[in-house]
C-alpha cells in the first residue's frame, strides 16, 4: 500500500529523517513511535505531501508521490490540535473539504451524515463546535478526514490533548473504527502504551532513523537494542557473562541472579562475551520468603514502595548492583505488602530474561 525507500529529509545541515525504508500493508494500523524530535512527524508529513523529501521515493498504491500535491494524494490527516473551526457547526466542519469537490447538496449531506455515524456522532450536524467536549472534537476531526474517503488516514498525536481516561477509551474506539473501515491508519505517537494498544505493527524511531519494525508483542519481548527496550515499557538492565551457547540458549551468569539460560534474541546484532540482560519489572516475583519454582534468585532490601492503584511498584537494592531493581506487581488486595527497609527475595524465570546483546557504549 505504502512503499518508502531511502527517504531522507534535511533542514540545512540537520538531517531529520535518514534513509527511511518502510512498507505498510493495506488495511494495517501502523504506528511510528519515538521521543520528541526523532523525525516521526516529519516522516508523516512527507507521506501526506506537506513536506518534500530530499532523497528516496514514496509510493502509495504503486504510484510515485514525488510530484503529487497533498490535495491530490489518497490520504487525509488528523492533526494534533484537531483544527476544528469554532465558527462552524459540526456538519459544516465535516463538510469543509467536500466543498472543493463541488458535490451536490444532497450528496454532501449524505456523506457528512455517514461520516458522523462512523464516529458515533450521528444527528449532531447542527451542534456548535464550541459546545463539543474534547472527545467529541476528536471525533469530528476524524469524521472530517473520513468524509473524503481516503485510502490512508494519517494521525499526528491524535489523542495527546485528551485526559487519561478519555484517551484510553478513544484508543479502543479508534481501533474499532479502523477495523470496521478496513483502511490503512498511520499514527505518530510518543506514547508506547498507546502504540502497543492500537497497532498491528510499530516502527520505533530515534534521531531520524527507524530502529525496529515489529508487532507490539515482539517489540516487548524481543527488542533489538537497549535503546528500544528502554522505550517500550520499563526494563531492568543487568550485566551478564556468557559461559556457553547451545540449542538457541545462552548460558550466562546474570549479575545478582546467578546462572540463567536465556533465549537467543534474533533481533540483536551485537555479540560478545559480555551480555546485557533485560528483565521487565512485571516479570519478577517479590516475596518475604524465598519463592518456589524460579530459576534465578536475588536477596535485597526494599528502598521504595509506591502505590499506583492497580499496581504497586518497588525498588529493591542488593549488594553488588549499581542501581535498584524495579518490580511491579498487581494490587490484588489493595495493600502494599513490603515496606521500606524490608528484606525481600526476588525470583525470575529463564523465559523472562531478554538477551539484548553486548552493552551499548
CATH 2.40.50.100 fits domain 233-355: yes
Q: Is the pLDDT higher at 352 or at 335?
A: 352
Q: Which residue has the cell 510499530?
A: 202
Domain 2-226: which CATH number of 1.20.120.1200, 3.40.50.300, 3.30.750.80, 2.40.37.10: 3.40.50.300
| pLDDT exceeds 80 at position 344 | yes
| pLDDT exceeds 60 at position 251 | yes
Q: How far apart, in whole angstroms, are the C-alpha atoms of residue 44 and residue 49?
A: 9
Beta bridge partners of 251: 244, 261
The mean per-residue pLDDT over the stretch 37-57 comes to 96
| pLDDT exceeds 80 at position 335 | no
SS3 label, residue 146 = helix
The mean per-residue pLDDT over the stretch 38-59 comes to 96
| pLDDT exceeds 60 at position 15 | yes
Q: Give the closest residue to 354 by CA, choosing from 217, 221, 184.
A: 221
Length of the chain: 361
- Cell numbers given for 11: 533542514
Task: Please give the order of strands across the beta sheet that includes 274-279.
Answer: 258-263, 249-254, 236-246, 274-279, 353-355
| pLDDT exceeds 80 at position 161 | no
Sorted by sequence, the CB contacts under 8 Å of residue 106 that are 6+ apart come out as none
pLDDT at 170: 83
How confident is the model over 284-294, as pLDDT tens digits?
Answer: 999 999 999 99
pLDDT at 361: 57
- Cell numbers given for 100: 472543493
Chain centroid to Cα 4, Å, comes to 20
Give the count of beta carbons closer than 10 Å to the beta carbon of residue 234: 14
pLDDT interval class at 238 (50, 70, 90):
very high
The domains of the chain are located at: 2-226, 233-355
Q: To the nearest whole number, what is the mean pLDDT of the chain?
A: 92
Amino acid at each position: 500500500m505504502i512503499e518508502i525507500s531511502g527517504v531522507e529529509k534535511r533542514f540545512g545541515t540537520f538531517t531529520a529523517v535518514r534513509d527511511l525504508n518502510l512498507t505498510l500493508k493495506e488495511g494495517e494500523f501502523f504506528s511510528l513511535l519515538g521521543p520528541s524530535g526523532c523525525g516521526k512527524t516529519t516522516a508523516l508529513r512527507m507521506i501526506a505531501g506537506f513536506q518534500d523529501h530530499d532523497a528516496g521515493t514514496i509510493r502509495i498504491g504503486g504510484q510515485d508521490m514525488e510530484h503529487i500535491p497533498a490535495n491530490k494524494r489518497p490520504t487525509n490527516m488528523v492533526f494534533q490540535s484537531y483544527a476544528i473551526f469554532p465558527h462552524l457547526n459540526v456538519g459544516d466542519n465535516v463538510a469543509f473539504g467536500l466543498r472543493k469537490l463541488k458535490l451536490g447538496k444532497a450528496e454532501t449531506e449524505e456523506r457528512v451524515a455517514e461520516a458522523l455515524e462512523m464516529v458515533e456522532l450521528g444527528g449532531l450536524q447542527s451542534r456548535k463546535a464550541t459546545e463539543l467536549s474534547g472527545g467529541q472534537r476528536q471525533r469530528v476531526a476524524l469524521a472530517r478526514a473520513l468524509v473524503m474517503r481516503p485510502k490512508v488516514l494519517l494521525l499526528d498525536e491524535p489523542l495527546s490533548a485528551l485526559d487519561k481516561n478519555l484517551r484510553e477509551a478513544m484508543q479502543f474506539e479508534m481501533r474499532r473504527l479502523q477495523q470496521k473501515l478496513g483502511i490503512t491508519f498511520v499514527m505518530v505517537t510518543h506514547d508506547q502504551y498507546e502504540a502497543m494498544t492500537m497497532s498491528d505493527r510499530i516502527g520505533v524511531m530515534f534521531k531520524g532513523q527507524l530502529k525496529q519494525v515489529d508487532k507490539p508483542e515482539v517489540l516487548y519481548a524481543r527488542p533489538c537494542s537497549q535503546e528500544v527496550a528502554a522505550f517500550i515499557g520499563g526494563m531492568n538492565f543487568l550485566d551478564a557473562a556468557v559461559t556457553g551457547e547451545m540449542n538457541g540458549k545462552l548460558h550466562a551468569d546474570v549479575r545478582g541472579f546467578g546462572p540463567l539460560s536465556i533465549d537467543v534474541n534474533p533481533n540483536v546484532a551485537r555479540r560478545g562475551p559480555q551480555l546485557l540482560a533485560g528483565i521487565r519489572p512485571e516479570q519478577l516475583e517479590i516475596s518475604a520468603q524465598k519463592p518456589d519454582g524460579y530459576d534465578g534468585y536475588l536477596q535485597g532490601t526494599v528502598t521504595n514502595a509506591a502505590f499506583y492503584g492497580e499496581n504497586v511498584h518497588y525498588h529493591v537494592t542488593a549488594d553488588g548492583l549499581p542501581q535498584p531493581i524495579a518490580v511491579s506487581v498487581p494490587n490484588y488486595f489493595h495493600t502494599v505488602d513490603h515496606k521500606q527497609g524490608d528484606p525481600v527475595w526476588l525470583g525470575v524465570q529463564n523465559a523472562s530474561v531478554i538477551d539484548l546483546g553486548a552493552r551499548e557504549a
